[in-house]
């Protein structure tokens, strides 16, 4: 009896120590190919400034990824277009978290659609890993290799390269980003391996109920990019809610959480995988600290009502491409990438 108790206490202790060391917080969601994706991850795109894409430094990437892994994140989202893969790789190598416990996502650049396997191998080399957990077509819109203009590459052909990558074990799972419903339907009618994941913008302003329902029916897990939408934008030009919105604050107070935590929890309960980006330690820790409470159905309905079908990420400068996925503007915005897609 005594030894039995000792054994139970010891194994409980070992388990909890293990959990602390392992630190994983987000549960995993099953993918249609048998793999599993953590329910929340870290976004790593640093965004734009007046010169175009912000200059990427090791510090801006390695520290946040290290903090995230220490805080229990196991999903890291990057892309060849973010110019940060080598720093992501450095951070992963420096931590004590095992590679096989990390779900690493990268994306095929728009200028690389005619060289999928080579582009993936370049990413793997920069990341210094032998495989990624998920490889996504970043955009159905393709560019010429020198980025001098559009290239017309059928995404069904590009997808064949991703299927090959999965067969070779270079990507455990494959998926798409910024595809619309009819594009996904066309892809599924013409592929061998179904996409497991669609990464698109989902947040309070852009709830995408129809697209989410479509994906659910087809067993495609949705990753929610730009999960905060307009939450932190100043001024009245963009739709509510902002982070001091009284309705959000009331729900947040009830659970002793912050409004960004309520937004992330709402997305998780919708069944999508938010990938909030932050380069600050306290926010990175805050954003994953959402797995100890549950929003009620009534609160979910209240939050659903903020939907305005408003896009924060609206790449209308690509709208003349035949595979442009979104609604068009009368006058497209100037290209903020300035040739660096």
Ligand X SMILES: *[C@@H]1O[C@H](CO)[C@@H](O)[C@H](O)[C@H]1NC(C)=O
Ligand Y SMILES: NC(=O)c1ccc[n+]([C@@H]2O[C@H](COP(=O)([O-])OP(=O)(O)OC[C@H]3O[C@@H](n4cnc5c(N)ncnc54)[C@H](OP(=O)(O)O)[C@@H]3O)[C@@H](O)[C@H]2O)c1
325 binds, among ligand Y, ligand X, none (CB under 5 to 8 A by kind): ligand X
CA distances for 69 relative to 60, 90, 132, 226, angstroms? 15, 13, 17, 20
| Distance (Å, whole) CA 127 – CA 205 | 34
| Distance (Å, whole) CA 126 – CA 132 | 12
Pick from 291, 314, 326, 337 the residue near ligand X by CB under 6 A: 326
Q: Where does residue 39 rank: exposed (0-12), middle (13-18), buried (19+ CB within 10 A)?
A: buried
**Angle of the 246-255 helix axis to the 297-304 helix axis, nearest 10:** 150
Binding-residue total with ligand X (CB under 6 A)? 9
| Distance (Å, whole) CA 228 – CA 197 | 20
Listed ranges 176-184, 206-214, 263-271, 286-294: which one lies at the site for ligand X (CB under 6 A): 176-184
Listed ranges 25-33, 175-183, 203-211, 251-259: which one lies at the site for ligand X (CB under 6 A): 175-183
Q: Tell me which residue of 140, 125, 189, 191 sits closest to 163, measured CA to CA.
A: 191
* 323 interacts with ligand X by CB under 6 A: yes
The CB-of-83 to ligand X minimum distance in angstroms stands at: 16
Q: Which is nearer to ligand Y, 172 or 277 (CB)?
A: 277
326 binds, among ligand Y, ligand X, none (CB under 5 to 8 A by kind): ligand X
- Reported as type and span, the H/E element at residue 105 is strand 103-108
> Which residues ranging from 181 to 210 are in contact with ligand X (CB under 6 A)?
182-183
In degrees to the nearest 10, what's the CA dihedral of 148, 150, 153, 154? 160
232 binds, among ligand Y, ligand X, none (CB under 5 to 8 A by kind): ligand Y
Dihedrals phi, psi of 253, to nearest 5 degrees: -60, -40
Q: Kindly list the residues in this chain that would bind ligand Y in the complex (CB under 6 A).
A: 43-45, 77, 138, 177-178, 199, 225-228, 232, 260, 275-280, 283, 286-287, 313
Nearest residue to the partner ligand Y, using Cβ: 43
Q: Specify whether 82 is catalytic.
A: yes
313 binds, among ligand Y, ligand X, none (CB under 5 to 8 A by kind): ligand Y
Supply the residues annotated as catalytic.
82
Which residues are near ligand X by CB under 6 A? 93, 128, 180, 182-183, 323, 325-327
């Amino acid at each position: 009896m005594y030894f039995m108790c000792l054994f139970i206490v010891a194994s409980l202790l070992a388990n909890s120590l293990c959990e602390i060391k392992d630190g994983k917080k987000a549960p995993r969601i099953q993918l249609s190919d048998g793999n599993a994706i953590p329910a929340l991850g870290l976004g790593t795109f640093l965004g734009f400034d007046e010169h175009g894409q912000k200059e990427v430094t090791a510090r801006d990437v390695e520290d946040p990824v290290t903090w995230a892994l220490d805080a229990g994140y196991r999903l890291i989202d990057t892309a060849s277009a973010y110019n940060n893969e080598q720093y992501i790789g450095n951070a992963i190598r420096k931590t004590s978290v095992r590679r096989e416990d990390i779900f690493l996502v990268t994306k095929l650049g728009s200028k690389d659609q005619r060289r999928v396997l080579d582009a993936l191998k370049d990413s793997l080399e920069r990341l210094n890993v032998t495989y990624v957990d998920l490889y996504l077509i970043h955009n159905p819109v393709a560019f010429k290799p020198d980025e001098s203009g559009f290239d017309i590459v059928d995404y069904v052909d590009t997808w064949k390269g991703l299927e090959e990558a999965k067969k070779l074990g270079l990507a455990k799972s494959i998926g798409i980003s910024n595809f619309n419903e009819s594009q996904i339907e066309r892809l599924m009618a013409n592929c061998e391996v179904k996409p497991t994941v669609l990464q698109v913008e989902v947040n309070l302003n852009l709830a995408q109920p129809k697209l989410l329902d479509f994906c659910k029916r087809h067993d495609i897990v949705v990753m929610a990019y730009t999960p905060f939408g307009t939450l932190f934008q100043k001024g009245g030009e963009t739709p509510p809610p902002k982070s001091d919105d009284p309705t959000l604050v009331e729900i947040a107070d009830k659970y002793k959480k912050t409004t960004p935590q309520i937004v992330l929890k709402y997305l998780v309960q919708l069944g999508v995988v938010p990938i909030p980006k932050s380069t600050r330690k306290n926010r990175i820790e805050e954003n994953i600290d959402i797995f100890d409470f549950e929003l009620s159905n009534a609160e979910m309905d209240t939050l659903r009502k903020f939907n305005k079908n408003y896009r924060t990420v609206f790449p209308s400068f690509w709208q003349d491409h035949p595979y442009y996925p979104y609604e068009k503007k009368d006058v497209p915005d100037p290209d903020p990438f300035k040739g660096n897609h």
